[in-house]
């Protein structure tokens, strides 16, 4: 997006906290899982129009390290929804040249789901359109803890910011320029804590299943009105 601009004025990477599926279902007298099913439809629409608009990176918070506290039934519904989506939608990713990668501690997930994830990552690795990072069993603190553990294990004595970055799940991906959160909440909730140091934030009261391209465009337009100074003076 806006490739003719300087790197610090571009919107290359958008991260989204897709919140409000449960409330959306409740408003309709339905169970929470129904909200997640509709939420996934909104996510698929987002992949479509974000690709069309030429976005380079999109990171989606699909399941946090804290989400295990939810009822067993909801957790397994979400895991199955993700698994089924990955199994069914390869054609969609191929057609849209979308590369998928996963961030989070995947070792706690079912082996069959881990296998599906590895296979999708392999099969989409060469696509050069939008890169989508799906955050599953992801927590910013846990990601940092794992990175520090790897640095300790490597025996390094002096650590630079670049050393830490290289051990994060997001290594090699630029930091998000813009973070969008739906459903009226205005907090980071353990998402991309390191990477969001200079991200712009945009919130909307809309619940995730109702989020559409007009909201996305409004968020991007707001981003371009911001003055990013990175602590300096312009």
Rule CB under 6 A: say whether 51 interacts with ligand FPP. Answer: no
Cα distances from 218 to residues 17, 89, 125, 136, in angstroms, run 16, 28, 31, 27
Rule CB under 6 A: say whether 104 interacts with ligand FPP. Answer: no
CB of 54 to ligand FPP, least distance (A): 20
Residue 67 annotated in active site: yes
| Whether the Cβ atoms of residue 216 and residue 49 lie closer than 8 Å to each other | yes
Q: Using CB under 6 A, which residues numbered 172 to 191 contact ligand FPP?
A: 183
Rule CB under 6 A: say whether 14 interacts with ligand FPP. Answer: no
Distance CA 6, CA 68 (A): 41
Rule CB under 6 A: say whether 39 interacts with ligand FPP. Answer: yes
The residue from 1, 9, 10, 23 that contacts ligand FPP (CB under 6 A) is 23
The residue from 45, 53, 85, 150 that contacts ligand FPP (CB under 6 A) is 85
| Whether the Cβ atoms of residue 193 and residue 144 lie closer than 8 Å to each other | yes
Determine the 3-state secondary structure of 168 from DSSP.
coil
Query: Which among 130, 107, 151, 154 has a CA at the least distance from the CA of 60?
Result: 130
User: Which sequence positions are flagged as catalytic?
Assistant: 19, 67
Which residues lie near ligand FPP (CB under 6 A)? 18-23, 36, 39-40, 43, 60, 62, 67, 78, 81-82, 85, 134, 183
């Amino acid at each position: 997006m806006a490739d003719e601009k300087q790197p610090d004025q571009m919107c290359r990477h958008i991260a989204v906290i897709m919140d409000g599926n449960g409330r959306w279902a409740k408003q309709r007298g339905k169970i929470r899982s129904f909200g997640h099913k509709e939420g996934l439809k909104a996510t698929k629409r987002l992949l479509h129009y974000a690709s069309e608009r030429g976005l380079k990176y999109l990171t989606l918070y699909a399941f946090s390290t804290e989400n295990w506290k939810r009822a067993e039934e909801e957790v397994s519904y979400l895991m199955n929804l993700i698994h089924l989506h990955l199994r069914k939608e390869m054609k969609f990713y191929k057609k849209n040249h979308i590369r998928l990668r996963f961030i989070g501690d995947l070792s706690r997930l079912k082996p069959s789901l881990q296998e599906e994830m590895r296979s999708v990552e392999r099969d989409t690795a060469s696509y050069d359109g939008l890169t989508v990072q799906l955050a599953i069993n992801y927590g910013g603190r846990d990601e940092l803890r794992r990175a520090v553990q790897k640095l300790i294990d490597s025996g390094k004595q002096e650590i630079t910011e670049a050393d830490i970055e290289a051990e994060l799940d997001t290594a090699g991906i630029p930091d998000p320029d813009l973070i969008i959160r739906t459903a009226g909440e205005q907090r980071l909730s353990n998402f991309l804590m390191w990477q969001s140091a200079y991200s712009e934030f945009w919130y909307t009261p809309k619940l995730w299943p109702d989020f559409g391209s007009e909201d996305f465009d409004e968020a991007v337009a707001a981003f371009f009105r911001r003055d990013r100074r990175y602590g300096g003076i312009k």
